[in-house]
Amino acid sequence: MTDATVAARAAPRKPVSVAGLAALGGLGVALVVVGPYVFDTYLLNILIKAFFFAIAAITVDVLWGYTGYLTFGQSAFFGVGAYAAGLIFTHYGFSPATVAAAVGAAIACTGLLAALVGWLSFYRGASPFFATVISLVVPIVLSQLLLSGGEWTGSSSGLTGYETFDWSLEAWFWVSGGALLAVGTVAWLAMRSDGGRVLTAIRDNESRCEYLGIRVSRVKIMLLIAMGIVAGLAGFGYGAFSGVVAPELSGFVLGTELIIWVALGGRGTLWGPLIGAVLINVASAYLSGSMPFAWQLILGSAFVAVIVLLPQGLIPLLLRPFGFGRRTATAPALTERALPPVDTADTSPALVMQDVTRRFGSLHVLQGISFSARAGELVGLIGPNGAGKTTLMRCMSDGADRTSGTVALCGNDIGRLSPQACVRFGLGRKFQNANVFESLTVGESLRIAGTLLERPSLWRRSQVLALPAYALDVVRTTGLDYKLDAVARDLSHGEQQALELAMVLALAPRIVLLDEPTAGLSKHERTQIGEILSALAHRYGLCCLLVEHDLDFVEQIATRIVVLHQGKLVMEGSFQDVVNSELVRNIYAGTAQPVPDAHDGVQSDAAFQQSNTSTVPKEDSPRSTISKEPT
């Protein structure tokens, strides 16, 4: 790489879209300020309602566009807010006290409902399908409950004619327009902040987030509560303005309309759904009288076309010539994060497994595994395919995975705890396939990886990225420091592997699990990784556990080898011991007899040979046999 290219890459790209967005924002503010003097009564009426709906649409975009949670249920929160206004003003009259009560009720009820929905939808192991199903059920249940409320909720008629704020149409326009701009601005700031990128990380790869210690369920539930409350307040505004609340406001038809507006406006952009919602509402008001059938048909067709052909939405497409839609990619400056010094006097093992078994029904994948590993060790875990190596890694990193036995990380029993908890005990796990965040840049991914150490800000974008020394080593050695603004999707396979390793190290773990780190790497990359891993254990004192097939690689860096066969630990020792052992040769050649159920799971070479009368010729070195295995 020449100096010129380096310099060019180091300078941040011109922030084109920021200028464009500023112009758009300015236009919006102007419209809100000038509106009442320019628009007639009918249009003002329509716009005020459209503004409240647009706020709800923004919440849908945050949940769906940014976090990947397809929800039909935001209308439920909107309806709760609207009915809070309707019910309290109808039954208790209108006064400052009742207004406060109504606002409080709107916030409390939507918050509670959102917490309940979140608890139902975002538990460990929930599928996104299920979450969408629940979001479908909630508005239906709510509108049916409203329908069965008899005189109190007005049932099918809804509540009408209650006394409400005695503001002029102009005042309402400024209030609703101002609220929309405020919500839009806050949401935009939050989504482009470092904290906001966590949502995109969750959308792209939830499991990776869990293994970085991020409590995904909790984040989603908190987000849903926040969005539910915002939608509820928008509904409150709508109910207070229009003087009519009916079950349609909380039903699933409105919920699907919100989705349609977001899809057409451009999911994941915020300003797209905002503009889209307002425009579509205004157009519907004018067109559904004169061409009711054609208009709905147009909307429906546009929606289908957008989903199938243009997932990014219509409005971004229209505004692309003006420079929209391009994200500003910035490359932060790298610094070293100081870590608390490792207590070298503490020689207790970092990882202890006692009698761990894993059964799937009658299939025993792991039986009676017991072993321990210390800081500063680099343990190589080898064994033929199907021996249970990846399962063993899973049992170490996820408390719910094993069937029985105990696992302790840095002295903490993981019990049945989730991967997030294991990560908090000091575990880092690198997966076999490059498990990264496709749409985030290298810099953003690394920052999110350090969430446990430094909470990303919810409104700022930091220009500095701090990484522990060994993570910095990885980034510099593999050249990722020149690609901090590159999107992960665009990296080569080797670079993605390096990125994932750097992310895991950014956590400052005490124990690192690596599942076939050299898979798919070139010889050069392999050497690099080897040096890095070696340094991790010897220089920085981490405990590394490595699953590998490439024995050359393992020989160079491992301090100890552990052999796994048919779910049992059959041998432990130095590389030479293992490679020269009869047992291992037999295992890889496939002629070994099934190992009897030993209690501690480890047998010495001699003991095995006594129980086995194999006739494998000694000149057939196990190493050559082993290296015939597919890599």
Q: Which stretch binds another protein (CB under 8 A): 157-165, 211-219, 430-438, 498-506?
A: 157-165
Give helix 16-38 / helix 169-192 axis angle, nearest 10°: 170
Of 237, 264, 88, 266, nearest to 172 by C-alpha is 237
The number of residues that bind another protein (CB under 8 A) is 62
Contact between 249 and another protein by CB under 8 A: the answer reads yes
Smallest gap, in angstroms, from Cβ of residue 489 to another protein?
A: 16
Told to check if 93 binds another protein by CB under 8 A, we report no
> Is residue 308 a contact partner of residue 297, using CB atoms and an 8 Å limit?
no
Tokens for 288, please give them: 């559904």
Which residue, 89 or 371, has its beta carbon nearer to another protein?
89
151 contacts another protein (rule: CB under 8 A): yes
Contact 303, 280 (CB under 8 A): no
H or E element: which one contains 611? helix 605-611
Between CA 377 and CA 199 the distance in angstroms is 36
Residue from 5, 95, 156, 624 in contact with another protein (CB under 8 A): 156
CA–CA distances in Å: residue 600 to residues 35, 224, 288, 367, 587: 79, 48, 77, 10, 19
Nearest to 613 by CA among 593, 584, 588: 593
Is there binding between residue 399 and another protein (CB under 8 A)?
no
In the bound complex, what is the minimum distance in angstroms from residue 480's beta carbon to another protein?
A: 29
Binding another protein (rule: CB under 8 A), the pick from 5, 160, 335, 433 is: 160
The beta strands (E) that lie in 541-592 are given as 543-547, 560-565, 568-573
Is 108 among the residues that bind another protein (CB under 8 A)?
no
Please tell me whether residue 125 binds another protein under the rule CB under 8 A. yes
C-alpha span between 607 and 622 (Å, rounded): 19
Helix%, strand%, coil% for the chain, nearest 5: 55, 10, 30
Spatial CA neighbour of 117 closest among 271, 222, 254, 194 = 222
Under the binding rule (CB under 8 A), the answer on residue 252 touching another protein is yes
Site for another protein in 480-499 (CB under 8 A): none
Q: Is 189 near another protein (CB under 8 A)?
A: no
Name the strand (E) or helix (H) holding 166. none
Segment 256-285, which members bind another protein (CB under 8 A)?
256, 259-260, 263, 285
Beta bridge partners, 404, equal 357
Q: Does 115 bind another protein (CB under 8 A)?
A: no
**Looking at beta carbons only, is 65 or 195 nearer to another protein?**
65
Among 2, 38, 150, 347, binds another protein (CB under 8 A): 150
123 binds another protein per the rule CB under 8 A: yes
Three-class DSSP category at 323: coil
Q: What residues between 33 and 92 interact with another protein by CB under 8 A?
A: 40-42, 45-46, 70
Task: Kindly tell me which of 246 and 512 has the beta carbon lying closer to another protein.
Answer: 246
Per CB under 8 A, the list member of 128, 323, 349, 520 interacting with another protein is 128
Is 148 a binding residue for another protein by CB under 8 A? The answer is yes
Q: Whole-number minimum distance, CB 306 to another protein, in Å?
A: 8
**Interface with another protein includes 207 (CB under 8 A)?**
no
Token digits of residue 102: 């109504």
Per-residue tokens: 120:
């139902």
Closest CA to 51 of 25, 71, 28: 28
User: How far is residue 366's CA from residue 403's CA, in Å, rounded to a whole number?
Assistant: 9
CB of 260 to another protein, least distance (A): 7
Hey, is 539 helix, strand or coil? Answer: coil
Cβ of residue 244: shortest distance to another protein, in angstroms?
4
Q: Measured between alpha carbons, how far is residue 8 from residues 1, 11, 369 in Å?
A: 11, 6, 53
Half-sphere exposure of 285 (CA within 13 A, CB side): 14
Measured CA distances, 259 to 288, 303, 585 (Å): 19, 10, 60
**From 99-107, 251-259, 319-327, 518-526, span contacting another protein (CB under 8 A):** 251-259
Q: Which of residues 284-343 bind another protein (CB under 8 A)?
A: 285, 288-289, 292-293, 296-297, 299-301, 303-304, 307-309, 311
Q: For 399, what's the count of Cα atoms within 13 Å in the CB-facing half-sphere?
A: 18
- The single residue among 3, 4, 11, 129 that binds another protein, judged by CB under 8 A, is 129
Distance CA 578, CA 575 (A): 5
Within 13 A of 369's CA, how many CA atoms are on the CB side? 33
Residue nearer to another protein on the CB measure, 151 or 619: 151
- In the range 4-43, which residues lie near another protein by CB under 8 A? 40-42
Q: How far apart are CA 351 and CA 386, in angstroms?
A: 23
What does the per-residue mask of binding to another protein show for 532-571, with x meaning CB under 8 A? ----------------------------------------
- Provide, rounded to whole angstroms, the least separation between the CB of residue 209 and another protein: 19
Q: How far is the CB of 33 from another protein (least distance, A)?
A: 22
The candidate with the shortest Cα–Cα distance to 82, out of 214, 253, 233, is 233
Nearer to another protein, 139 or 517 (CB): 139
362 binds another protein (CB under 8 A): no
**Coil, strand or helix at 245:** strand
Q: Is 137 in the site for another protein (CB under 8 A)?
A: yes
Applying CB under 8 A, the span of 100-108, 254-262, 362-370, 542-550 interacting with another protein comes to 254-262
User: What tokens were used for 122?
Assistant: 């975002």
Choice from 136, 181, 282, 535 touching another protein (CB under 8 A)? 136
Tokens of 432: 């076999």
Least spacing, CB of residue 125 vs another protein, in Å: 7
Residues lying near another protein in the complex (CB under 8 A) are found at 40-42, 45-46, 70, 120, 123, 125-130, 132-134, 136-137, 140-141, 144-145, 147-148, 150-151, 154-158, 160-161, 242-244, 246, 248-249, 252-253, 256, 259-260, 263, 285, 288-289, 292-293, 296-297, 299-301, 303-304, 307-309, 311
